[in-house]
Each structure stands twice: as structure tokens, then as C-alpha cells.
Amino acid sequence: MRQKAVSEKIAEAALLGAASISVLTVVFITVFLLANGLPLFRKVNPIEFLFSTDWAPTANPPHFGILSFAVGSFYVTGLALIFAVPVGLAVGIYLAELAPPRAASFLRSGIELLAGIPSVIYGLFGIALVAPFVRTVAGGSGYSVLSAAIVLALMTLPTIINVTESSLRALPSELAEGSLALGATQWQTIVRVQVPAAGSGIVAGIILGMGRAIGETTAVLMVGGNAPIMPRGLNSMVRTLTMNIITDMSYATGDHLTSLFATGIVLFIFILVLNIAVQTFIHRSISSEGGRA
């Protein structure tokens, strides 16, 4: 009994250590970003940094304005979600409720492969196929907001599909059976009963997909044009927050380097807010469902 108790204590300590490493990693990243980015605001007004479109870090005097990059990030991410969400929901519903076992297994394998493809491969795909297609159909150079959004939509699809399928499969079977017993068709049951009931999980998956999309760099860098301008339309070249960091990091020094860390702080805060929103939404949904029960 003593040996078992000691073994359990050791296992508990090991698990606690693993959890502590995760928490400490987040703390260290936060401290590192703040320590390297906040000194910029001793010289640059935070309002100017956030709401100016003038990015000229090597000018004399230098200007640090990231509004065009922030708008570009939201522009590309929002358009990508417009493309990805309907397709992701449709595929998730099909896999959970309609697909034959063999077809479902084949599709899941493809989705898992899609999730595992490196982002640089998506970028090469965008250069080889997406950019020429956009250039032919919509005009312009092909390296634009639209091309970046299409590539980003492909990258976020696995997240939305997997969360949608998991949320629908987690529902009790009695829910669908009761709807069918009352005379509803299978499609009516899916659309009016099951999807609303799984809504909290589906929305959480979409928000997580948004977080993945807004943090993506390599693929968007390869097809977005990487021009430090305010995007004016679908054919406009774009530079996102992450693109700006990776583009300038190789040669930045002094205040220029500090401004890139400050850009990272903005991006980090946004992702943090997204994750908090997901957790809050899920907890409220669980609480409201428990109250109704």
C-alpha cells in the first residue's frame, strides 16, 4: 500500500510539473514580449502606433504606424472565414450525420492530411494555382487579399470541420430521435434541432479557426503581395501584422526592432482575447443548458 501511495504521489507530481511547464511557458513569453516591446511607447505615442498608417521605420525621423497591417489582418481573416465557414459546416454535418462509414473514413483521412500540410506548401500551391486563377478571373497581379484569403480558408477548414463534427456527435441520440418521431425529416432535424443544439461548440471552433488564421504568416506572405499599404479592395496587395514582423525582423535594429515586438504584443493580446471569448462562451452555454435542464 505504501509503495502504491508513493507511486501515485510521484505520478501526481509529474503531471503537476508538466502542467506547470505549460503555464510557465506562457508567462515567459508574455514577459519577454512586454520587456522588449513596451519600451517603444516611451518614444512613440500608443495612439499613433495603433491608428497611424505611416510605417517608415528607417526614415528620419522614423514613423511607426500599424493600422494598415491590422486592417489587412482582419480583412484577409474575415474573407477567409466567409469562404471557410459554410464549407466547413457542410462537410462537418455530412461526416457526422449523412456520410456512409467508408466515405466518412476516406474524407477524414483527407482532412487530417490537409491539417498536417506545412504552411509553406500551401504558399507554393497559392503561387502555382491560386494567384494565376485570381489574376485571370479578377485581374491585378494575383498577389492580393483575395489570393491570401483563399489559401487561408483552405488552412482553417480542418479546424472548423473537426469541431463541427465533434460537436454534432457529442449530442445525445435522443435529441434526433425525438425530432424524427414528431414527423420532422432528417434535414429538418439537422438544421433546426442538432445544429442549434451544437451551436456553442461550432461557434467556438469558428473562433479558434479565426485565431489560427490571423496568426498565419508564411502562406499569406507568399501570396498576399507584402506591400505596406492600406488594402483598398480584393485585388489590393496586403501586409498583415505577422507578415510585417517576419519581413522586417531580419534587418531591424533599435526602435525598429522594438516596434516589431510591440506589434507582437498587439497580436498576442488579440489572440488572448479570442481564447478568453471562446472559454467564456462555452462556459455560459454549458451553464444555460444546465439551467434549462
Find the angle CA(160)-CA(196)-CA(84) to the nearest 5 degrees: 25
Question: How large is the average pLDDT for residues 205-212?
Answer: 82
57 belongs to a structural domain: no
Same domain, 107 and 164: yes
Task: Note whether 89 and 72 are within 8 A (CB).
Answer: no
56 belongs to a structural domain: no
Tell me the CA distances in angstroms from 163 to 71, 121, 198, 210, 251, one per residue in order: 28, 24, 10, 13, 40
58 belongs to a structural domain: no
Which residue has better confidence, 207 or 95? 95
Same domain, 180 and 266: yes
- Closest to 270 (Cα-Cα) out of 68, 70, 109, 104: 70
Least confident of 25-39, 66-80, 187-201, 272-286: 272-286
H runs (alpha helix) in the chain = 2-37, 46-51, 67-93, 101-116, 119-125, 131-138, 145-169, 173-181, 186-189, 195-197, 199-214, 218-223, 241-248, 254-292
> Which residues have CB under 8 Å from 147's CB, separation 6+?
126, 130, 131, 134, 223, 224
Q: Is the pLDDT of residue 133 over 70?
A: yes
Least confident of 222-226, 260-264, 285-289: 285-289
50 belongs to a structural domain: no
Same domain, 121 and 8: no
pLDDT computed for residue 49 by the predictor: 93
- pLDDT category, 289, cuts 50, 70, 90? low
Same domain, 88 and 37: no
Which residue has better confidence, 175 or 279? 175
Same domain, 104 and 249: yes
Which residue has better confidence, 129 or 9? 129
- pLDDT category, 41, cuts 50, 70, 90? very high
H runs (alpha helix) in 94-185 = 101-116, 119-125, 131-138, 145-169, 173-181
Which residue has better confidence, 259 or 6? 259
Question: How large is the average pLDDT for residues 195-224?
Answer: 86
Same domain, 33 and 119: no
Q: Is the pLDDT of residue 50 over 60?
A: yes
Place of cell 420532422: 184
The Cα–Cα gap between 223 and 148 comes to 6
pTM of the model: 0.85
pLDDT tens column, 221-260: 999 999 888 998 889 999 999 999 999 988 888 999 999 9
Q: Which three cell numbers stand for residue 83?
A: 469562404
Q: What's the mean pLDDT when you consider all of the chain?
A: 88
The Cα–Cα gap between 167 and 48 comes to 43
- pLDDT category, 2, cuts 50, 70, 90? confident
DSSP-derived secondary structure letter, 57: T
Tell me the CA distances in angstroms from 138 to 12, 127, 266, one per residue in order: 59, 16, 33
54 belongs to a structural domain: no
Same domain, 24 and 152: no
Write the single-letter amino acid at 17: G
Task: Note whether 201 and 140 are within 8 A (CB).
Answer: no
Q: Is the pLDDT of residue 281 over 80?
A: no
Sign for the pseudo-dihedral over CA of 195, 200, 206, 208: negative
Same domain, 94 and 148: yes
268 belongs to a structural domain: yes
Same domain, 219 and 273: yes
Q: Is the pLDDT of residue 293 over 60?
A: no
pLDDT computed for residue 58 by the predictor: 85
Q: Domains in the chain: how many in total? A: 2
% the chain with pLDDT above 70: 96
Same domain, 105 and 183: yes
Q: Which domain holds residue 36?
A: 2-42
62 belongs to a structural domain: no
Same domain, 243 and 115: yes
Same domain, 199 and 269: yes
The Cα–Cα gap between 175 and 195 comes to 11
Task: Note whether 235 and 140 are within 8 A (CB).
Answer: yes
Q: Is the pLDDT of residue 271 over 90?
A: no
CATH code, domain with 206: 1.10.3720.10
48 belongs to a structural domain: no
Question: What is the phi/psi pair of residue 105, to 5°?
Answer: -65, -40
